Structure 1
Amino acid sequence: MRVLVTGAGGYLGRALVAALTAAGHEPIAMVRPGVGAIPGARETRAADLLDPDGLRRAVEGVDRVCHLAGLTRARESFDEPLRYFRVNTGGTLALLEAMADAGVRGLVFSSTCAVYGSPDRQPMTEDLPAAPPHPYASSKVAAEAVVEAQANSGALGAIVLRLPNLAGGADKDPTRLIPRVLAAATSRTPLGVNGDGSAVRDYLHVDDAAAGFVAAVERLPAPGGFARYNLGSARGTSILDVVAAVERVTGQRVPLVHNPPAHEPQVLIADATRAAAELGWEPKLSDLDSIIASLR
């Protein structure tokens, strides 16, 4: 199948282009103007989510769309909420309109497990109500609603994938925990940790996430169908677990500075049982040592 990947120049997008190619599909990369060709893509098309004409050209001749493009920084979204809704929600609406005009009737949408907020029940399952804690997550909830409504109209078949923290592979983002811990190990610079470092999160290897999108592309429901799945590693990892694993894999000590505790959830873990049962997907690379080794 010819699969358009929006946001193909990003961290997950590049991994998905490679995964689609390995699975025998023809990925068409959609990137912002000026990004350049994406290695491994059958074709690269420049377009912006807020440019209707560019979107119409981008979706021409494709069979499916994996929609990854958008804004993703939760803290930034507090300062720029309108921008986050304009791009994440409005951009999704514009893409759906372009798909309808072109007769493209299959979509896999990238969302986030942050939409659950901080529920007491862990691991988090898909039947939990949305309780978005910031404008970023709220913009994704709104975009999911648009996708579901379009699917319910019979215009397309759609799957929403909610993702936890991605890690591994080509991750160079200094704002994410594992690259920060690796940098501290290399530079011997103390790593600031909120509280005692016991907060637990779910880390999923980016290649496992990409495999989840391939599985969803290959199992999309017929037009009129809609499904929502969590992807996750099936394990919880604390900050101190990450530090210990980095020290184990690198042989370097990570100096720590304990800051005052932050107001944050103690445990956030995604339950991916439904994705395993219905998509035939399971994480294969998401043990912590493998994630860290892949980043070195």
Structure 2
Amino acid sequence: MMRVLVTGAGGFLGKALVNALLREGYTVRALYHRAGLSQGDSRCEVVTGDVRDRAAMKAAVTACQAVVHLAGKVHALDELSADEQEYHSINVEGTRHLLEGAAAAGIRRFIFASTVKVFGETSDGCVDESWPPAPVTAYARSKWAAEQLVDDLARSGRFRGVSLRLPMVYGPTDKGNLFRMIAAIDRGRFPPLPPIAGVRSMLHVNNFTQAVLRTLQAESPFKPCYVVTDAEPYSVTTIYELLCAGLGKPIPAWRVPLWLLKVAGGAGDVVRALTKRPGPLTGAAVQKLIEPAWYCSDAIARDLGYRPDFSFADTVPELVAFYRHAKQ
């Protein structure tokens, strides 16, 4: 079985992927940003290093047959304060260093975790790989630039490379907007959402690990990039109501009118401008609630046999149980 280097092994996705690879019998070399993050995991080879360190990346990939590159600077909650140069140095130059090491080591497969945000922040209908990239934020621009590096080197024939474009990945973690949403609903601090027609694609962490395994095992040629999502998109209203039920909270009969939600977001923008600090509700946050972001994963299902087994409704009990344990 091949040896796989997993970068970003200390993150939410990295931990889940390392466990999945070990269950499948792979030899795993786990790359952590700094010592101490591995928590003494003896099941895999542990290495440390910063992706911005070219020599460290060359050493990390030596004697591996595949790389799954998850490490990077994630998107900021407040995109207006994003540091473009830092995104570039970590997500673009860091990927370049890893690719150079991978090419020198003679690896067979390189899988890069990208984002659906390369298409923009919202969608007009259901978007697939045929849509042209139109990144808006520093984060999305850096991911799109890194994708092109992967594709360029893969086209040279040095290895098979692919970028997996991911929406928001959810599961048992205390990081991210979904955990904050669960906490706010539990404390009665989340506005009772009105019916919202727009849907957003999401991805359960176990569906993500299945997609990576399918890509590692694929014998047939595959495309330079694939969108990976759950089987169906979700409306924010549906997510809200499922979480209310999962937390044992009554689903409110009265809902905040959509116009009032937009006004509250505008007021939050004014508060941010005056205080220089983002509030709990801003215009951008409201946009993420009401605007569609719908993506299609038919291509990876067709080409690689990807079958998402987990849905949001099925995993609400797991999410709520993790939240209750985390707050103890």
Same fold by TM (over 0.5)? yes
Specify the SS of the correspondent of 2:224.
Answer: strand
User: Quick check: 196-205 or 136-145, which moved more?
Assistant: 196-205
Structure 2 counterpart of 1:2: 3
Task: Supply the distance in 2 between the matched residues of 1:273 and 1:48 (Cα, whole angstroms).
Answer: 35
Task: Supply the distance in 1 between the matched residues of 2:106 and 2:240 (Cα, whole angstroms).
Answer: 49
Task: Supply the distance in 1 between the matched residues of 2:122 and 2:236 (Cα, whole angstroms).
Answer: 20
> Which protein is richer in helix relative to its size?
2
Q: Is the Cα contact below 8 Å between 1:9 and 1:35 reproduced in 2?
A: no
Structure 1 counterpart of 2:249: 252
Q: Is the Cα contact below 8 Å between 2:123 and 2:294 reproduced in 1?
A: no
Query: Is the counterpart of residue 292 in structure 1 residue 293 in structure 2?
Result: no
Task: Supply the distance in 2 between the matched residues of 1:119 and 1:167 (Cα, whole angstroms).
Answer: 19
Structure 1 counterpart of 2:185: 185
1:156 Cα shift? Answer: 1.5
CA 267–43 in structure 1, closer or farther in 2 if over 3 Å, else same: same
1:122 Cα shift? Answer: 2.2
Task: Supply the distance in 1 between the matched residues of 2:122 and 2:219 (Cα, whole angstroms).
Answer: 29
CA 45–88 in structure 1, closer or farther in 2 if over 3 Å, else same: same
Read off the aligned partner of 1:44 and give its amino acid letter. V
Q: Is the Cα contact below 8 Å between 1:185 and 1:253 reproduced in 2?
A: no
1:51 Cα shift? Answer: 1.1
Read off the aligned partner of 1:53 and give its amino acid letter. A
Task: Supply the distance in 2 between the matched residues of 1:159 and 1:113 (Cα, whole angstroms).
Answer: 14
Structure 1 counterpart of 2:22: 21
Q: Which runs of 5+ in 2 are unaligned?
A: 267-282, 322-328
Q: What does residue range 33-182 of structure 1 map to in structure 2 within 5 Å?
A: 33-37=34-38, 39=41, 41-75=43-77, 78=80, 79-118=82-121, 121-168=124-171, 170-173=172-175, 175-176=176-177, 178-182=178-182
Which TM-score applies when normalising by structure 1? 0.89
Calculate percent identity across the aligned residue pairs: 30
Q: Which runs of 5+ in 1 are unaligned?
A: none
Structure 1 counterpart of 2:326: none
Query: Is the counterpart of residue 276 in structure 1 residue 276 in structure 2?
Result: no
Structure 1 counterpart of 2:213: 214
CA 190–120 in structure 1, closer or farther in 2 if over 3 Å, else same: closer
CA 76–6 in structure 1, closer or farther in 2 if over 3 Å, else same: farther
Task: Supply the distance in 1 between the matched residues of 2:8 and 2:117 (Cα, whole angstroms).
Answer: 20
Q: What is the total number of aligned residue pairs between the two structures?
A: 289
Task: Supply the distance in 2 between the matched residues of 1:82 and 1:76 (Cα, whole angstroms).
Answer: 16
1:41 Cα shift? Answer: 4.4
1:35 Cα shift? Answer: 3.7
CA 196–86 in structure 1, closer or farther in 2 if over 3 Å, else same: farther
Task: Supply the distance in 2 between the matched residues of 1:62 and 1:55 (Cα, whole angstroms).
Answer: 12
Q: Is the Cα contact below 8 Å between 1:92 and 1:143 reproduced in 2?
A: yes
Specify the SS of the correspondent of 2:317.
Answer: helix
CA 192–49 in structure 1, closer or farther in 2 if over 3 Å, else same: farther
Task: Supply the distance in 2 between the matched residues of 1:206 and 1:269 (Cα, whole angstroms).
Answer: 18
Read off the aligned partner of 1:109 and give its amino acid letter. F
Q: Is the Cα contact below 8 Å between 1:194 and 1:260 reproduced in 2?
A: no
Which TM-score applies when normalising by structure 2? 0.81
Task: Supply the distance in 2 between the matched residues of 1:63 and 1:288 (Cα, whole angstroms).
Answer: 34
1:182 Cα shift? Answer: 1.7
Read off the aligned partner of 2:94 and give its amino acid letter. G
CA 281–239 in structure 1, closer or farther in 2 if over 3 Å, else same: same
User: Which has the greater radius of gyration?
Assistant: 2
**Which of structures 1 and 2 has the larger relative contact order (alpha carbons within 8 angstroms, sep 6+)?**
1
